[in-house]
């Protein structure tokens, strides 16, 4: 799990990404398709909107890291609930976009590479470790979301 220090490092490093977010998104997709050209066809021909959506989603995720424990309430709206948002995103990636499970490793590698290129020396080993943990939690949750609801009932339990 991410420690408070990890969360702080993610939040602080993200502040440095914001001014170069468009470049970071360009670098991410460039690297992703270098690592695995076959994934290009999963995406629409124009990536402009996709880049914005990715940045917006990362923004939302990082903002959620910034919440103090005391700010968590029982009545968070589903669209504001990090866990529900990420589970649902995992389901869309599986059902709608048909991304293979193995692609999560490649996407993680491309994301870390883009952050490293964008932040340069500011991307310290501690920051890399914090982002790696965050990405792994996201990827695991998305893969769980992909599987949720897909479990067939045992015939003996069926109606
Ligand atoms: C932490 C991991 C990831 C994040 C935060 C993320 C974020 C997003 C977001 C915000 C969208 C916009 C649509 C939506 O919300 O449903 C999207 C779409 C998409 N993502 Fe991801 N994604 C991740 C992992 C992956 C992986 C592993 C792949 C595999 C190549 C992938 C491929 C795609 C594709 C193909 C689309 C749909 C493009 C379209 O048809 O418009 N994503 N992603």
In a domain, 127, yes or no: yes
Residue 159 falls inside a structural domain: no
Judge whether 118 and 17 are in contact, CB under 8 Å: yes
Tell me what the pLDDT averaged over the chain comes to: 91
CA 16 to centroid of chain Cα atoms: 18
Query: Closest ligand 1 atom to the C-alpha of 98?
Result: 35
pLDDT over 60 (residue 150) = no
Phi, psi (5° rounding) for residue 68?
-70, 150
Q: Is residue 115 part of a domain?
A: yes
Q: For residue 78, give every residue at least 6 positions away whose Cβ sits within 8 Å of its Cβ, in sequence order, or none.
A: 84, 85
pLDDT confidence band for 1 (50 / 70 / 90) = confident
Does residue 156 fall inside a structural domain?
no
**Using one digit for the tens of pLDDT, what is the confidence trace for 24-40?**
999 999 999 999 999 99
Residue 108, in any domain of the structure:
yes
Report yes or no on 9 lying in a domain. Answer: yes
Q: What's the domain count of the chain?
A: 1
Residue 102's pLDDT is 96
Residues 151, 123: Cα–Cα separation, whole Å:
41
Ligand 1 pocket member 111 (CB < 6 A)? no
Residue 48 lies in a domain: yes
| Residue 49 falls inside a structural domain | yes
Which residues are CB-contacts of 106 (< 8 A; sequence separation ≥ 6)? 32, 35, 36, 39
**Ligand 1 in reach of 43 Cβ (< 6 A):** yes
> Counting beta carbons within 10 angstroms of the beta carbon of residue 72, is it exposed (0 to 12), middle (13 to 18) or buried (19 or more)?
exposed
**Residue 152: is its pLDDT beyond 70?**
no
List the domain range (segments joined by +) for residue 60: 4-67+76-148
Supply the pLDDT for residue 99: 97
75-117: per-residue pLDDT in tens?
A: 778 888 899 999 999 999 999 999 999 999 999 999 999 999 9
Say how many Å lie between the CA of residue 92 and the centre of ligand 1.
8
CA–CA separation, 77 vs 55, rounded Å?
Answer: 21
What is the CATH number for 33? Answer: 1.10.490.10
For the segment 41-64, what is each residue's pLDDT rounded down to a tens digit?
999 999 999 999 999 999 999 999
């Amino acid at each position: 799990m991410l420690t408070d220090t990890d969360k702080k490092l993610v939040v602080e490093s993200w502040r440095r990404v914001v001014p170069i977010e468009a470049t970071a998104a360009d670098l991410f997709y460039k690297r992703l398709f270098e690592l695995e050209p076959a994934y290009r066809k999963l995406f629409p021909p124009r990536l402009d909107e996709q880049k914005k959506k990715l940045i917006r989603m990362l923004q939302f995720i990082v903002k959620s890291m910034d919440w103090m424990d005391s700010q968590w309430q029982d009545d968070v709206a589903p669209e504001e609930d990090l866990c529900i948002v990420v589970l649902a995103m995992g389901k869309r990636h599986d059902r709608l976009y048909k991304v293979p499970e193995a692609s999560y490793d490649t996407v993680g590698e491309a994301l870390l590479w883009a952050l490293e290129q964008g932040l340069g020396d500011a991307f310290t080993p501690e920051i890399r470790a914090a982002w790696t943990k965050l990405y792994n939690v996201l990827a695991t949750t998305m893969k769980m979301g992909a599987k949720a609801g897909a479990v067939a009932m045992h015939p003996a339990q069926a109606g």
